[in-house]
Amino acid sequence: MLPELWKTGRLATDFKVDTTAPANIAWVKYWGKKGPQLPANPSISLTLSESRTHTTLEATPASDLRLELWFQGAREEKFEAKTLAFLTSLAAELPGLGHAHYKITSRNTFPHSSGIASSASSQAALALALGELLAHVSGSFADLKAVGSIARLGSGSACRSLYPGLVSWGETPLIEGSSDLHATDVTSQVHANFHGSKDCILIVSSKEKSVSSRAGHGQMSAHPYAHARFAQANMHLSEMWSALTSGDWQKAGDVMEADALSLHALMMTSRPGFVLLEAGSLEIMRLVRLFRQESQVPVYFTIDAGPNMHLIYPHEAHAKVEAFVRHELLRFTENGSGVIWDGMGALA
């Protein structure tokens, strides 16, 4: 998947690039991996607009590989060690990356490590920067599928953040061009009812979650319900794809909620089990379902691996959802004001 030209050349002069990439929220999740960072089941997600990572990569020619990483204005030793290990592994296949000293400066527009796909946006932004560097060194260009392979190796869902709109990842006969190796932009194949979809993110807690997504994925290899989950996820993907192509918000929302709850059930039934939801998360779920029943407004919840809630709805329902959130749900968020108004976006 990586271009042969990217495997040649070495940095000869100082290089600097600024990149940005958004988070994404999966409507059908992948949970569990196979092979070299490949998904155990296909997934589909909405790429966001406002929740982003901004990254600056500076590289200086050198005989070895060194890294200095700054995040949110502070030196981050934990992220630095992980990123250095990632760059070292990439350099085994892409030797040009191994002969430089790097300084990476990164910041998010949203809380990291709290279940809002910060690893997806950060690794996508880093992959874009590395793609530009490799293109510069080799005299080729930053092919997005190849960049997606780099992003996937850093964080699986990061490959979905390279494309705007609705995006799939994982091979499935339902979606033409789908692959385990990179993501596929499916927005043009989706009914116009879903174009401009909104995502209201309710920050129940911005604290770093107790168990990382990487650790949670790892537990699936021995999970007693793993095979049943993979079969269920494929069924959910089929149901979601039918809803997306026919324009059926109710069906899409029903699948979205069922899949999110299944994800958290897997966490709770792992060995050892863990719970990332907070009391506020549960109350928001209950009130969203009650509001939907009483108002007939098509607003649905989903949750990534964390306590924070995503309310997904069509853009024409925004005024009613905003009023509902402000009157009923903000009290369950951090400091009573933890909300990000987001939605379908594109790369800047």
Q: pLDDT tens-digit profile of 297-323?
A: 999 999 998 899 999 999 999 999 999
Mean pLDDT of the chain: 92
Structure tokens at 131: 């793609």
In this structure, the number of other CB atoms found within 10 A of the CB of residue 81 comes to 12
Nearest to 144 by CA among 121, 165, 166, 160: 160
| Type of residue found at 6 | W
CATH 3.30.70.890-classified regions of the chain: 193-343
Q: What is the 3-state secondary structure (H, E, C) of 162-218?
A: HCCCEEEECCCCCCCCCCCCCEEECHHHCCHHHCCCEEEEECCCCCCCCCCHHHHHH
Pick the CATH number of 4-169 from 3.30.465.10, 3.30.230.10, 3.40.50.300, 3.90.1200.10: 3.30.230.10
Instruction: Identify the pLDDT of residue 29.
Output: 96
Peptide bond into 272 cis (omega under 30): yes
Between CA 271 and CA 223 the distance in angstroms is 7
In this prediction, what percent of the chain has a pLDDT beyond 70?
97
Q: Is residue 37 predicted with pLDDT exceeding 70?
A: yes
For the 193-343 domain, the top CATH level (class) is: alpha beta
| pLDDT tens track for 61-102 | 999 999 999 999 999 888 899 999 999 999 999 998 999 999
Instruction: Identify the pLDDT of residue 272.
Output: 87
pTM of the model: 0.93
CATH 3.30.230.10-classified regions of the chain: 4-169
Instruction: Identify the pLDDT of residue 115.
Output: 58
| pLDDT tens track for 197-222 | 999 999 999 887 777 777 777 777 77
Q: Are 71 and 24 in contact (CB under 8 A)?
A: no
Mean pLDDT, to the nearest integer, of 105-116?
A: 77
3-state secondary structure of 48: strand
Instruction: Identify the pLDDT of residue 348.
Output: 44
